Amino acid sequence: MKNFDYSIPTKVHFGKGQISKLRKEIKNFGSNVLLVYGGNSIKRNGIYDQVMKQLCDDEINVFELSKIDPNPRITSARKGAELCKSKKIDVILAVGGGSVIDCSKLIAASAFYKGDPWELVLDSSKITKALPIISVLTLSATGSEMDAFAVISNMETNEKLGMGNELLKPKVSILDPEYTYTVPAIQTAAGTADIMSHIFETYFHNEKGAYLQDRFAESLLKTCIKYGEIALKEPNNYEARANLMWASSHAINGLISYGTDGGWSVHPMEHELSAYYDITHGVGLAILTPNWMEYVLNEKTVDKFAEYGINVWGIDSSKDKFEIAKEAIKATRGYFEKLEIPMSLKEVGVDDKNLEIMAELASKRGAKYGYMPLEKEDVLNIYKMSM
């Protein structure tokens, strides 16, 4: 196990009715609040009203920035940064899924930056200060409610890039599983696939001796597998929504990656797909993951895949290890199919026009440094297997 510096500083209020803590938390940071949200979902399901009730206080001034797109755009972050500067914002309140929280993170950092916010996406070491962020999560998927990362899209340049800085970790997150009851089926499925992908990206590593992290990861995977299906069939099942929500935070907050050796493979490949075709992140991951698994299965990786098959899918350990690994990959694909995720890139509108350039960029921007290094040709082969 490698050395690490543990720091998961986000204070979490988890469960039904925890929105009642919001007013006090806001006031700990100041009085000028920028409320950031997406389309109309929080108005339709009543979360907006519950939040506004908490902000109804003579000492609190609320400014709003709405219409944050899924795959949040740099243009929204620019608007948010201007508002922070002109209205002397003290704290950002992000109410939504990963897109809203990610955009809020870039806004929080840009509030103290003189240049264009895109410069911070390109080089997050330029972030020296950030406004505090409070998140109210409405979709279990990205883990942005408890991590240091944001992923921002620039549609003019077909770039979707990740950034990360410790200063961007939300100070407080309110996680009420009931807030996810209205998440559409495809987003519930995509969110579950995204959580699972975060776990896979960490679980498939080359570090020896991170036994505890691997067992944590397997428990999280089993939680997703069990409750993803239930949440789809019964959207108002509290137990399912609660378990998915807590799994989403722990999949990426560092708990399972501390002490292992980093390097993600499938996310860099997916980010190029979203950048060029604006597809749903979790759907892209579900399509690519089983094909990536098949592609990287070899003498070197088979033991890890067999471990996955035995510990997560309960496959008979007396079988041949390649047989176990192949069964595990089949089970992974079968699970995403059960969640009714479209399982080919063609189905989500990806054609073969940009495969070469996407493969080159995906390799350069991360896939090269993953569990099994993927050069441009490897990524291209995986894209082709996924068509």
Q: Which tokens go with 79? A: 């608007």
What's the rounded Cα separation, in Å, for the pair 330 and 335?
Answer: 8
HSE value, Cβ hemisphere, 13 Å, CA-based, for 62:
19
Q: Residue 139 binds which one of Zn ion, ligand NZQ, none, with CB within 5 to 8 A depending on kind? A: ligand NZQ
Q: Phi and psi at residue 73, in whole multiples of 5°?
A: -95, 150
**Min dist. Cβ of residue 300 to ligand NZQ (A):** 26
Closest CA to 371 of 271, 300, 291: 300
Report the length, in residues, of the chain.
387
**Min dist. Cβ of residue 101 to ligand NZQ (A):** 7
**Min dist. Cβ of residue 198 to Zn ion (A):** 6
Query: Between 270 and 378, whose beta carbon lies closer to Zn ion?
Result: 270
What's the rounded Cα separation, in Å, for the pair 30 and 42?
Answer: 24
- Map residue 119 onto helix, strand or coil: helix
**Min dist. Cβ of residue 370 to ligand NZQ (A):** 14
Q: Residue 84 binds which one of ligand NZQ, Zn ion, none, with CB within 5 to 8 A depending on kind? A: none
Count of Cβ atoms closer than 10 Å to residue 52 Cβ: 12
**Min dist. Cβ of residue 48 to ligand NZQ (A):** 10
Query: Between 31 and 354, whose beta carbon lies closer to ligand NZQ?
Result: 354
CB 149 within 8 A of CB 111: no
Query: Between 185 and 357, whose beta carbon lies closer to ligand NZQ?
Result: 185
**Min dist. Cβ of residue 310 to ligand NZQ (A):** 27
Q: Residue 309 binds which one of Zn ion, ligand NZQ, none, with CB within 5 to 8 A depending on kind? A: none
Closest CA to 260 of 326, 204, 183: 204
**Under the rule (CB under 6 A), what is the footprint of ligand NZQ?**
38-42, 45, 70-71, 96-100, 102, 138-139, 141-144, 147, 149-151, 179-180, 182-184, 187, 191, 194, 252, 267, 281-282
Query: Between 194 and 378, whose beta carbon lies closer to Zn ion?
Result: 194
What's the rounded Cα separation, in Å, for the pair 203 and 205?
Answer: 6
CB 177 within 8 A of CB 17: no
Establish if 194 lies at the interface with Zn ion (CB under 5 A).
yes
**Min dist. Cβ of residue 50 to ligand NZQ (A):** 12
Paired with 36 in beta bridges are 65, 94
Helix residue ranges per DSSP H, 56-210: 74-87, 98-110, 117-122, 185-203
Which stretches of the chain are assigned E, i.e. beta strand?
A: 11-14, 32-37, 61-65, 91-96, 133-137, 149-154, 159-164, 172-175
Query: Between 150 and 306, whose beta carbon lies closer to ligand NZQ?
Result: 150
**Min dist. Cβ of residue 359 to Zn ion (A):** 19
CB under 5 A: which stretch of 25-33, 99-107, 175-183, 188-196 binds Zn ion? Answer: 188-196
Q: Residue 289 binds which one of ligand NZQ, Zn ion, none, with CB within 5 to 8 A depending on kind? A: none
Query: Between 22 and 297, whose beta carbon lies closer to ligand NZQ?
Result: 22
Closest CA to 192 of 127, 143, 261, 159: 143
Query: Between 201 and 307, whose beta carbon lies closer to ligand NZQ?
Result: 201
CB under 5 A: which stretch of 47-55, 190-198, 228-236, 348-356 binds Zn ion? Answer: 190-198
What's the rounded Cα separation, in Å, for the pair 195 and 197?
Answer: 5
**Min dist. Cβ of residue 202 to ligand NZQ (A):** 12
Q: Residue 7 binds which one of ligand NZQ, Zn ion, none, with CB within 5 to 8 A depending on kind? A: none
Size of the site for Zn ion (CB under 5 A): 1
Closest residue by beta carbon to Zn ion: 194
CA 330 to chain centre: 24
**CA-derived radius of gyration, the chain:** 20
Query: Between 160 and 326, whose beta carbon lies closer to ligand NZQ?
Result: 160
Paired with 154 in beta bridges are 159
Query: Between 314 and 349, whose beta carbon lies closer to ligand NZQ?
Result: 349
* Contact set with Zn ion (CB under 5 A): 194
